[in-house]
Chains A and B, each alone.
Chain A
């Protein structure tokens, strides 16, 4: 038998990560992680991206994971390194993004003594991880890495934290190294294939439905189910809506696509959901931004819910038919069963339903002609900025966003035809996500256009990552939709608080973003006039080898519509400042 290789804990960690196919890590060194960083230095298989703040590391790894489907890997030190990573871990948890976060910890004998940079990372992160590990014995490192990656990527994905006390990675203590080939996690068994009787019931409901809607979310993207969803609807010919997290799973330019649904969903998507007789929920969890008041949600609809997570089904809206399993597999089985009964399915009977939807769209659909008005008598509309970006990038860019009005305008006006191109913090709603996420996406796809649509509030939460973008030469395009206020907060204050703008404006204290960008070694462009919007955006995108920060001053009074009326049903929307349905 060949002699096993002997490695230190730190070297075992690097070897194990390599065995898992990791080629890039996002992180920031510090005392408790220094043994690991030395092991990183002594190998050449894995690149490390030095961010400027640990929150940036987690968002960058998250953006990388969302764009590629591979788990993002983060390496931080103990104490503040670990706590700074928390917001990014919470972001990944809420959106079910696979991530492995390795945090250094003080040496075992110091744990519990209030040692320098000691914090209970496992305790602090517990409610926002899928699972976590502390390394108590260095020889367990390969097994723990293997398990962590399996847990993070299987079932409903999510972040996994591995806390490693410093003595576990000491360079002078060597262990027999062998990477485990199999996993024995006897207490974890995510459903993969659904029960056949549920498939039959789902297909029977599809056959009898006259007003179906397919409602697909982030779980469909996590399951890589775009081909199956498309194939199913080639047979069904039903209207399709996507959640904020699901945009791109069904082509947005397809005639059956209704747009996003929910709080700022399109009129036709919300009306179709409210009036449907069948809702097929695919990897979507009936979040409160989708349902409005659950008691008034879609009164006539039968619900088929496809999900890998038992706890997501009937949590908010009761499911009539629950199909547990990877939604890709479930859709495949539904397609097969529907094909078997194809004689019983008549897609022509959906004609009146499509007519009804077309009428809704004609009545109050979004206006996609806004960008054509380039007169300087009016301020720039934020929607028009997104439309120009869409046109210039041929609808084919990776678009990250932050959180607020700009995020909703991007979701409404950039039409995503492919999954994993729209990268945003949907569940946690994390301002500061966009720039580091774009950095992570660009590292995965250096030849693709990567755009960060942000606002002057969000961008300042992680703006230090401009420095990282220079170090690694990442020519992303940042579109700062600048309304000189925390726009979504201000919108709510306008609508619900008598227009009292409590702490949502900056009193002329904003930085000169062009100079700031130039100080970081990038290109800055300022746009203040409608007539120069298109040409200056085109100029920005013509610069291929440098990061360009475009600071666009837009109409500060603009609101995002439609907007659901709080406490009502999906048919109750504000359509304009002075008009309700």
Chain B
């Protein structure tokens, strides 16, 4: 079991965080650290706007970072489960990113 860092960009809506957290406790994974910020300065995420041809307004999206202990074999499954959540725009671990359902082989978040 290794400590892994996950970064998510998701809609800043009630219930979005609970859906993410639920995926962990449902499978018996513990969250070691968790941090959420609604994003005022969205300029950092222009690359997502360009990639997906969308526009963010300030405080419309949140950045969530999670540290968890998980085996390597389950890491991809966790990414895929998080990617499946309707409110999640992008999710990455150290080496890959799901951007609105498309897998990219690097951490772009």
Contact = CB atoms under 8 A, between A and B. Distances in A.
Given A189-B101, A314-B76, A127 B22 contact: yes
B14 A134 contact: yes
A51 B14 CA distance: 33
Interface string B21-37: 01000100000000000
Given A187-B100, A189-B100, A314-B76, A131 B86 contact: yes
B11 A187 contact: yes
Contacts of B100: 186-189
Contact of A191 (B18, B19, B76, B101): B101
Contacts of A185: 86
Interface string A108-146: 000000000000001100110011101000000000000
B108 to A, nearest CB: 16
Interface in B41-89: 52, 54, 76-77, 80-81, 83-84, 86-89
Contacts of B54: 186
A151 B98 CA distance: 19
Contacts of A190: 101
A236 to B, nearest CB: 29
Interface string B1-31: 0000000001100110011001000100000
Interface string B83-109: 110111100000000101111000000
A127 B19 CA distance: 8
Contacts, number: 49
A311 interface: yes
Contacts of B87: 187
B89 A186 contact: yes
B86 A122 contact: no
A315 interface: yes
B26 A127 contact: yes
Given A122-B15, A191-B101, A311 B80 contact: yes
Nearest to A191: B101
A132 B84 contact: no
Nearest to A188: B86
Contacts of A131: 86
Contacts of B103: 310
Nearest to B81: A311
A555 interface: no
A309 interface: yes
Nearest to A151: B86
A392 B22 CA distance: 49
Interface residues of B, number: 25
B86 A187 contact: yes
Interface string A155-194: 0000000000000000000000000000001111111000
A297 to B, nearest CB: 16
A455 B86 CA distance: 39
Nearest to A312: B80
A310 B78 CA distance: 11
Nearest to B9: A187
A185 B88 CA distance: 11
A310 B15 contact: no
Nearest to A122: B15
Contacts of A123: 18
A130 B89 contact: no
B84 A310 contact: yes
Nearest to A132: B15
B49 to A, nearest CB: 10
A309 B84 contact: yes
Contacts of B11: 187
Contacts of B86: 130-131, 151, 185, 187-188
A325 B89 CA distance: 19
Contacts of B77: 311, 314-315
B22 A310 contact: no
Interface in A314-349: 314-315
Contacts of B88: 187
B89 A187 contact: yes
Nearest to A130: B86
Nearest to A315: B77
Contacts of B26: 127
A407 B2 CA distance: 44
Nearest to A160: B86
B10 to A, nearest CB: 7
Interface of A: 122-123, 126-127, 130-132, 134, 151, 185-191, 309-311, 314-315
Given A187-B88, A187-B100, A188-B100, 14 more contacts: A126-B22, A130-B86, A151-B86, A186-B52, A187-B86, A187-B87, A187-B89, A189-B102, A190-B101, A191-B101, A310-B80, A311-B84, A314-B77, A315-B77
14 contacts: A122-B15, A126-B15, A126-B18, A131-B86, A134-B14, A151-B86, A186-B89, A187-B10, A187-B11, A189-B102, A310-B103, A311-B77, A314-B77, A315-B77
Interface of B: 10-11, 14-15, 18-19, 22, 26, 52, 54, 76-77, 80-81, 83-84, 86-89, 98, 100-103
**Ranked 9 nearest A-B pairs via Cβ:** A311-B80, A189-B101, A131-B86, A187-B89, A189-B100, A186-B54, A310-B80, A188-B86, A311-B81
